[in-house]
Amino acid sequence: MKKEKLEVIKGSDNPFQDVGLPDADTKLVKADLCGNIIDILDKKGWSERQASLQTSIDQGNICRIKNGDLKGFTIDRLIKVLNKLNHRVEVTVRPIRRRTRAMAHVQL
């Protein structure tokens, strides 16, 4: 049996950019924020209904966030969700290193 050689390509820190999607930096920030919201809700053990009641966010939108469906969500809207979950978002700005592509970073 002949073995095929696999080509390994090192990606950047942004998979959205790696596959050529538009607005890759925005998509990465939104995905980071969404991941943090999901982690917080999981740690609290809240159902979508409980999360909706505690945050005053429509249960359907909680469901969309938990499923990673971020169409229609802006970065500031996701930050407001985190604020309602008693978390603060900090944005870090720093120069781009030569070998690294542009990347946004969000820290809770």
CA distance 82 to 78: 6
Q: Sort strands 90-91 and 106-107 into parallel, antiparallel or unpaired.
A: antiparallel
Tens-place pLDDT, residues 61-89: 999 999 999 999 999 999 999 999 999 99
Q: How far apart are CA 64 and CA 93, in angstroms?
A: 29
- 25-64 residue pLDDT tens: 999 999 999 999 999 999 999 999 999 999 999 999 999 9
Complete domains list, the chain, with CATH:
22-107 (1.10.260.40)
Q: How far apart are CA 38 and CA 32, in angstroms?
A: 10
- What confidence tier does 3 reach under pLDDT thresholds 50, 70, 90? confident
Confidence check: pLDDT of 108 > 80: no
Radius of gyration of the chain (CA): 17
85 or 9, higher pLDDT = 85
| pLDDT for 106 | 63
pLDDT of residue 96: 77
- Judged by DSSP in three states, 63 sits in helix
Put simply, whether the predicted model's pTM sits higher than 0.95 gets the answer no
